[in-house]
Structures are given as structure tokens and as C-alpha cells.
């Protein structure tokens, strides 16, 4: 399986379990690795036979900016579902970063990584 990666997609969302997270929002960063067979697209030099990563990026931002959820696990799952909605995508790895997580000690980042594929 071939891989198309998008790294560092940024959007402001209102996800979290605390009221201030829901009210103020914060920046979330998403990394994706899309698994697909790129041979048909490469042979025909045809975008319609692969995944349009620009469209995927816009959809991921829509999910992050959309309906709030409590957990980044839920957010990652919703992103994976959108990615798998593209016919060419057979598998997706989603990493959601929450660099502004409400943690009381110094830290660099909090992430969840999930991998989903078509059944």
C-alpha cells in the first residue's frame, strides 16, 4: 500500500471536558497518513484515480472546527471516518495533537494516534 501524508494541519476547535475549553477553544494539529494504491493514478496521470489531499485537508479542518466533543479520541475517530469516505483511501492513520491541553505541569504536546481501515 502506498502512503500520502499530510502533516501539521491546524484548526481552532472547542473540544474538551472543561467549560473554558468549550468557550475559548484552542488550536489542534492533525497529522494524517492515507493508505491507498496510487498505481492507477500514476499510470493515467489522473487525479480522479487517487485522493485529492487538498479536499481531505479542508474536510479535516471542518471536523476540527465543527461540533465539539469531549475527547480527542472522539475527534480522531471522526477525522478517520471522513478520510475513509474517500473511495481511494483504504487505511488512515490519524494523529491529533492538543498542544494547549489543560495540564498543570510543563509539557510539549498531548497526542492520540489511531489507525483505521476499511473492513
Instruction: Give catalytic status of residue 49 as yes or no.
Output: no
Active-site choice (33, 98, 103, 108): 98
Long-range own/partner contacts, residues 15-18 (CB < 8 A, 24 or more apart): 15/64, 15/68, 15/69, 15/70, 15/71, 15/72, 15/75, 16/68, 16/70, 16/102, 17/70, 17/71, 18/102
The catalytic residues are 98
Amino acid at each position: 500500500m502506498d502512503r500520502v501524508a499530510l502533516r501539521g494541519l491546524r484548526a481552532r476547535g472547542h473540544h474538551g471536558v472543561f467549560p473554558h475549553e468549550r468557550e475559548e477553544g484552542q488550536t489542534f494539529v492533525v497529522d494524517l497518513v492515507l493508505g491507498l494504491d496510487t498505481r492507477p493514478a500514476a499510470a493515467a496521470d489522473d487525479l480522479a484515480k487517487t485522493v485529492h489531499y487538498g479536499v481531505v485537508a479542508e474536510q479535516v479542518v471542518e471536523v476540527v472546527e465543527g461540533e465539539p466533543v469531549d475527547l480527542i479520541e472522539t475527534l480522531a475517530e471522526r477525522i478517520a471516518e471522513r478520510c475513509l469516505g474517500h473511495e481511494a483511501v483504504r487505511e488512515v492513520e490519524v494523529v491529533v495533537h492538543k498542544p494547549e491541553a489543560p495540564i498543570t505541569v510543563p509539557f510539549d504536546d498531548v497526542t492520540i494516534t489511531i489507525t483505521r481501515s476499511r473492513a
